[in-house]
Amino acid sequence: MVETTALHEVNFKVSKGEFVAIMGPSGCGKSTLINILGLLDNSDSGGYYFEGIDVSGFGEKERTNLRKGNIGFIFQSFNLIDELTIFENVELPLLAMKVPMLKRKARVEEILDQMRIGHRRSHFPRQLSGGQQQRAAIARALITSPKLILADEPTGNLDSSNGEQVMQLLEEMNASGTTIIMVTHSINHAERAHRIVNLFDGHLVIERSEKVFESINRVV
Amino acid sequence: MIRHSLYILLRRITRDKVLYFIILTNLAVGFAAFIVLSTFISDQFNYDKQNTKYDRIYRLQLFMDQKENTIKHTWSVTAALSRKDLVDLPEIEKIALIHDVGDNNKSGVFLSVDKKNQFLTRFGYFADQSVFDIFTFRFIEGDQANALVHPFSIVLSKAVADRLFPGGNALGKQVYGENKVVFNVTGVYEDIPVKTSWRPVFILPMLSYKAITGNQDYESNYWSYAFYTYVLLKPNTGSASVDTKIYNALKDYRKEHHPYLRPMSKLYIDPYFENSTYVIIGLISFLSALILILSSINFINLQTANATTRFREIGIKKTLGFNKKRLWKQFMTESVLLTFIAAITGLFLAQLAIPALNNMLGGETFSRTFDNWKLLVVIFVVTLVTGLLSGLHPAYIISSYNPVAALKQKFITEKTNGISLKKTLVTIQFSISIFMLIVGFIIYRQTQFMLKKDLGFNSETVMFSNIVTDQKGSLEPLRQKLLQHPEIKNMSVSDYIPFILPGGDDLNWEGGKPDEKVFVRISNVNYDLVPTFGLKMLDGRNFSREFPADRNKCLINETATKVFGWKDPVGRRIKVYNMDYEVIGVVKDYVVFSVYSPNEPHLYRLAKDSIMNNGVYAVNFVGGQEKNAMEIVKTEFQNFFPNDAFEFRNMQVLTQNENALRAWKGFSKIMTLTAIITIIISSIGLFGLILFLTQRKMKEVGIRRVLGFSHSSLYMTLSSEFIRLIFISVLLAWPAAYYVYRVLPAGANKYDLQIWEFVFATLLILIVAVGTISYQIIKALCVRLVDILKDE
């Protein structure tokens, strides 16, 4: 078997409250990066500091515990569970955190209304449009009020108007203080982030950060 | 969590109906078979359980320690034992002495209310009043405490009472026995359940035994082994001390006879310390467990295969922070839930099937499960264990998925270290299937062998009836009348006939050591028994009217000459009841009572050529003329015995319904059923398994097809592994099945095993496997190439 290296010497820092877009051609290592950042995978070498703690040596159990409630995921293919209703899908992270039922219910209702899909709560994913499914997936990512949201081509499967809605939601989340890292192929969407990280063949190529100062100024 | 699992499960079931139908059918059929067989097994241990004093009831039996005897135990004992030796023992609370009314073996007695409409009633007994203290009877009418204290009273079972007094209210009415004795009904009891070792249909008081039978000294007679004795021991008393005491009391009479008490729990299942019933029960239990294991393995395979459709669910849940343990729990819960759904379905399937099966197997082979709470508890536990064990592997596989890979919907290859679990399961599956089919064949062939076995006498064109009469005189007029009809070939009278087992005595023989004795069955026959039953003479001649001196002569059977060690038996002498007899002929061995039991020595004495007051009349008729012959016999006997009731029956009623043979027939049908279920479950299992494997190999097949592999080479690639596993299974299954053949309790009547039974069963499984593989492979070959390859 030939060993391949997905990422090599990728060093970058994402500050609290940042909105970072990651770009690059297919196979450049974007997904691997997202998986490492999302604690789904470990890097073979190097370190990963999450809130100042090196988590690169964490085992599966510790990673699961850290992920729970701290990191929200949004996928291109939504990844809603077919057998669960929208309500139950959105409820899942709270179930993982063993939040009591009444609290869970109230929180799910709140977030569904916020995402404007409350009326679809007892439908199954395949009964919804793509935009609605992605809003449900975002609701699921937001329900625990995570510190970090990882969005892997969130608009990839959506038409432009639905994609625009999703981008607006991400911006709103970011405005309320959530850190967002988004993989995208769309330069338009990437430019709405504070900073763009370009990957090529596992290497960090260029970091465009015109907006960084702007946004820092805005926050300050 | 359970609610969550249940929701997901139910939604998956409604979405993927076919797959879940297969999964559930497999398990439900497995459970149904397990439950049906379990009720059978449980019933074997539940005989006589309706008796509330079950634990304290014992039957007096006798061990005859004579090495030449082939049958060493009996529960026919002397009345003197219970009247003299048991009465004062402190351990014993109650004793009941019992004796057949008439000879239940031969026929029974005729009862009527008006001396006209008599009907033959088998299994009536004389008994002491104490039977009601020992056994549990449920009286509908009459006073149980005094039902047998007056002479000439009669207590009827409900079935007999209904027949005699269809309007009810039998109490106080009169019943005629054989039109000779009048009885006064003192009670009616509920019919005794079928699964009971002693089932009287009516009871007469033992205190009238003397008056009715004329047997004056029975209570002091240590030689007449014709009575049954049941005792009730005091609470917390063992039977061992009683055994010693009665042996000591009896040894002055016959030191080689050891009386002992046999607990009620053994009376049906193991009366005589033999393992035959246990072997059968053990085998059936083993088979029922195998069926369940087989369907559990299928379940494991199908669930593991099914798990590949759940990558997204697992991936998401893991991503969202569900840990391995929680996912494991979810899938275990799912497995247990599915198992319970299947078990409950199986339970109802079994309830639906049991009446039909009983119909097919005859009688009450299986009883209803819902009456048996202990069995329900067992089923509950077995279900739980099956669910947990079957869930273990799929749950482990599923919960170990790497979330990244799972979300990419990649097939996760199982880690293999030489022997993979999957291959092991498949091998077990094939082994069990092949084993069960071979055992099915063996039992079927054994039963057929016994059914078709040459009984050694004519049972097809002989009818018989026991006639109890006061009439005296020659039988010759009747014989002559019958022989005038071309349908009738011969007629005999004797006290016993084949399949009605006579008693006998311990005899010493010419040439034997003076103190050596062997139990020989003795019957009194007229000149015509041998030709009527088509018995064959090995040596010498039959009794003949042309030899007036034959009264002091006897015939013996083949086994007797072997036991006595006689090379030239004709002319030898033997002493029976202080009379000297000369052997004039040897009868070839025939099946005396049961194809199952070994042959015993027999001796036949010539009876007076006149009416026997308690004889069995047998008529040999021309084949195909049974109906006419029956009419003729009825008329002629009616004319000859105008005052006596009788009922002629075909000999096959006896030979085909003999207990051991019936048990084998039932056993064979159970095995057929088991074999069919095995094939169904194996097919389901193979289908699921191969479905899974070819599903995984779709891509491989696609690539190979692109590269130009021919269909036949693909077929070989995909099926060769299964074929190899089947051959490994043969190595496991064949010896196991051969072992079953070896331990099969068929006595001397075991059929000769043949290799084709093994080959045929294996071929059958091979055909099922190859059929399923082919179906799947053809399906895989028909898929458009682009559809396979773009999927990634």
For B139-166, the pLDDT digits (tens) are: 999 999 999 999 999 999 999 999 999 9
Q: Which residues of A touch B401 (CB under 8 A)?
A: none
Confidence of residue B117 (pLDDT cuts 50, 70, 90): confident
B235 in reach of chain A (CB within 8 A) = no
Any idea what the Cα angle at residue B326 is, between residues A92 and A99, rounded to 5°?
A: 45
Q: What percent of chain B has pLDDT over 70?
A: 91
Confidence of residue B578 (pLDDT cuts 50, 70, 90): confident
pLDDT at A217: 39
| Closest Cβ opposite residue A79 in set B11, B312, B404 | B312
Q: Which residues of A touch B407 (CB under 8 A)?
A: 75, 79
B417's CB contacts (< 8 A; 6+ apart) are: none
Give tens-digit pLDDT for B592-622: 777 667 788 899 999 887 888 888 999 999 9
In B414-479, beta strands by DSSP E: 462-468
Confidence of residue B536 (pLDDT cuts 50, 70, 90): very high
Which of B316, B318, B329 has the highest number of chain A CBs within 10 A, making it the mutation to test binding with A? B316
Decide: A87 and A108 in contact? Cβ < 8 Å.
yes
Cα of B326 to nearest chain A Cα, Å: 8
B400 in reach of chain A (CB within 8 A) = no
User: Per the CB < 8 Å rule, is B312 touching A61?
Assistant: no
Q: What percent of chain B has pLDDT over 90?
A: 30
Quote the distance between the C-alpha of residue B305 and its chain's center.
41
Chain A, residues 82-101, CB within 8 A of chain B, namely 82-84, 88, 92-93, 95-97
B15 in reach of chain A (CB within 8 A) = yes
Decide: B295 and B26 in contact? Cβ < 8 Å.
yes
User: B707-711: long-range contacts at Cβ-Cβ below 8 A with a sequence spacing of 24 or more?
Assistant: B711/B781
Which of B3, B320, B324 has the highest number of chain A CBs within 10 A, making it the mutation to test binding with A? B320
A126 in reach of chain B (CB within 8 A) = no
Q: What would the mean pLDDT of A91-114 be, rounded to a whole number?
A: 89
User: Per the CB < 8 Å rule, is B316 touching A79?
Assistant: yes
pLDDT at B698: 66
Q: What would the mean pLDDT of A60-85 be, rounded to a whole number?
A: 85
What number of residues does chain B have? 792
Percent helix, percent strand, percent coil in chain B, to nearest 5: 50, 15, 30
Q: Which residues of B touch A39 (CB under 8 A)?
A: none
pLDDT at B418: 47
ipTM: 0.77
C-alpha pair distances (Å), B582 with each of A135, B101, B242, B553, B578: 109, 34, 43, 5, 13
Q: What would the mean pLDDT of B471-492 be, rounded to a whole number?
A: 92
B4 in reach of chain A (CB within 8 A) = yes
Give the A:B interface size as CB pairs under 8 Å.
Answer: 66
Give tens-digit pLDDT for A125-140: 888 988 899 889 989 9
The mean pLDDT value of chain A amounts to 82
- Identify the CA nearest to B175 among candidates B105, B119, B98: B119
**Rounded Cα–Cα distance for residues B531 and B510 (Å):** 28
Partner residues linked to A75 by β-bridges: A152
Cα of B7 to nearest chain A Cα, Å: 8
Q: Which amino acid is at B605?
A: R
Helix axes of B311-319 and A86-96: crossing angle, nearest 10 degrees: 50
User: Per the CB < 8 Å rule, is A84 touching B15?
Assistant: no
pLDDT at B624 over 90: no
Q: What would the mean pLDDT of A69-86 be, rounded to a whole number?
A: 86
User: Per the CB < 8 Å rule, is A64 touching B316?
Assistant: no
Q: Which amino acid is at B365?
A: T
pLDDT at B409 over 70: no
Dihedral (Cα; B399, B403, B408, B409), 10-degree rounding: 10
| Closest Cβ opposite residue A40 in set B8, B11, B319 | B319
Give tens-digit pLDDT for A151-195: 988 888 888 888 888 899 899 889 988 999 999 888 888 888 988
Q: What would the mean pLDDT of B773-778 be, rounded to a whole number?
A: 75
- Identify the CA nearest to B419 among candidates B428, B411, B410: B428
Q: What would the mean pLDDT of B652-680 be, rounded to a whole number?
A: 78
3-class state of residue B748 by DSSP: coil
B776's CB contacts (< 8 A; 6+ apart) are: B690, B691, B693, B694, B718
Q: Which residue would you say has higher pLDDT here, B634 or B115?
A: B634
Q: Which residues of B touch A80 (CB under 8 A)?
A: 316
User: Per the CB < 8 Å rule, is B324 touching A60?
Assistant: yes
Q: What would the mean pLDDT of B731-742 be, rounded to a whole number?
A: 93
Q: Which amino acid is at B5?
A: S
Burial class (CB in 10 A: 0-12, 13-18, 19+), B74: middle
B376 in reach of chain A (CB within 8 A) = no
User: Per the CB < 8 Å rule, is A83 touching B317?
Assistant: no
Q: How many helices (H) and strands (E) does chain A have?
A: 8, 8
Q: Which residues of A touch B309 (CB under 8 A)?
A: none
**Rounded Cα–Cα distance for residues B380 and B374 (Å):** 10
Cα of B680 to nearest chain A Cα, Å: 31
Q: Which residues of B touch A96 (CB under 8 A)?
A: 317, 320-322, 326
Chain B, residues 401-440, CB within 8 A of chain A, namely 403-404, 407
Q: What percent of chain A has pLDDT over 70?
A: 88
A63 in reach of chain B (CB within 8 A) = no
B7 in reach of chain A (CB within 8 A) = yes
Cα of B689 to nearest chain A Cα, Å: 24
Which of A60, A81, A84, A143 has the highest number of chain B CBs within 10 A, making it the mutation to test binding with B? A81
Confidence of residue B792 (pLDDT cuts 50, 70, 90): very low
pLDDT at B773: 76
**Strongest mean pLDDT among B15-24, B581-590, B701-710:** B581-590
pLDDT at B699: 64
| Closest Cβ opposite residue A79 in set B4, B315, B322 | B315
Q: What would the mean pLDDT of B419-423 be, rounded to a whole number?
A: 71
Q: What would the mean pLDDT of B766-792 be, rounded to a whole number?
A: 70
Decide: B198 and B75 in contact? Cβ < 8 Å.
no
Chain A, residues 130-159, CB within 8 A of chain B, namely 140
What's the token pair of residue B654? Answer: 């006896």
Burial class (CB in 10 A: 0-12, 13-18, 19+), B543: buried
pLDDT at B240 over 80: yes
- Identify the CA nearest to B393 among candidates B297, B252, B532: B297
Q: Which of A52-56, B360-364, B715-719 has the lowest mean pLDDT?
A: B360-364
User: Per the CB < 8 Å rule, is A61 touching B404?
Assistant: no
**Rounded Cα–Cα distance for residues B98 and B108 (Å):** 15
Q: Which residues of A touch B318 (CB under 8 A)?
A: 40, 64
DSSP annotation of B81 reads I
Q: Which residues of A touch B313 (CB under 8 A)?
A: 81-83
Q: Which residues of A touch B312 (CB under 8 A)?
A: 79, 81-82
A19-23 and A49-50 beta bridge pairing: unpaired
B319 in reach of chain A (CB within 8 A) = yes
Q: What would the mean pLDDT of B425-439 be, rounded to a whole number?
A: 88
Q: What would the mean pLDDT of B459-472 be, rounded to a whole number?
A: 88
| Closest Cβ opposite residue A92 in set B11, B320, B403 | B320
Give tens-digit pLDDT for B62-74: 888 776 666 678 8
Q: What would the mean pLDDT of A192-219 be, rounded to a whole number?
A: 64
Q: Which residues of A touch B320 (CB under 8 A)?
A: 67-68, 73, 92-93, 96, 140
Q: What would the mean pLDDT of B403-418 be, rounded to a whole number?
A: 59
**Rounded Cα–Cα distance for residues B209 and B98 (Å):** 10
Confidence of residue B207 (pLDDT cuts 50, 70, 90): very high
Confidence of residue B365 (pLDDT cuts 50, 70, 90): low
B444's CB contacts (< 8 A; 6+ apart) are: B668, B671, B672
pLDDT at B93: 93
**Rounded Cα–Cα distance for residues A220 and A174 (Å):** 15
pLDDT at B202 over 80: yes
The mean pLDDT value of chain B amounts to 85
What's the token pair of residue B429? Answer: 């599956």
C-alpha pair distances (Å), B94 with each of B47, B87, B200, B232, B268: 21, 9, 19, 5, 21
Q: Which residues of B touch A67 (CB under 8 A)?
A: 319-321
Give tens-digit pLDDT for B669-715: 887 888 888 878 887 887 777 666 666 666 666 666 667 677 777 77
